[in-house]
Amino acid sequence: MFRSRLNWIACLASSPGDKAMYSWMRAIVRDLRNQPDGWAFKEPVDREIYPEYYQLITHPTDLKTIASQIKDKVLKTREEFLEEVRRMFANCRTFNAPGSDYHTMADRMETFLKARLLQS
């Protein structure tokens, strides 16, 4: 997606298990949660309200799940972390039509992420 537009060497330079890397991941999740559109990505999509989401989306994820993956050290590199965050936005855009509120929120959140990564 936006990989070609950033200096990924700087963003991804870390060793698996690096405390600074996990701190960086937690800070990114915190900053995403605190964005005006962050509320839409904080929790898993409700299966009872949107069962069709889970028929279409084969690898659902959200900020709560990502935070758990950081805590449990499931995500071992910055690249794995960023893939998971990008997947969250891609899932949202796959399920929601272009121009819809949620599709637009995913675009804005990804734009914020890009800017935030350039600060890292």
pTM of the full predicted structure? 0.85
Burial (CB < 10 A; 0-12, 13-18, 19+), residue 5, is: exposed
pLDDT 10s digit of each residue in the chain, 120 long?
Answer: 444 444 444 455 555 558 899 999 999 999 999 999 999 999 999 999 999 999 999 999 999 999 999 999 999 999 999 999 999 999 999 999 999 999 999 999 999 999 999 987
Burial (CB < 10 A; 0-12, 13-18, 19+), residue 90, is: middle
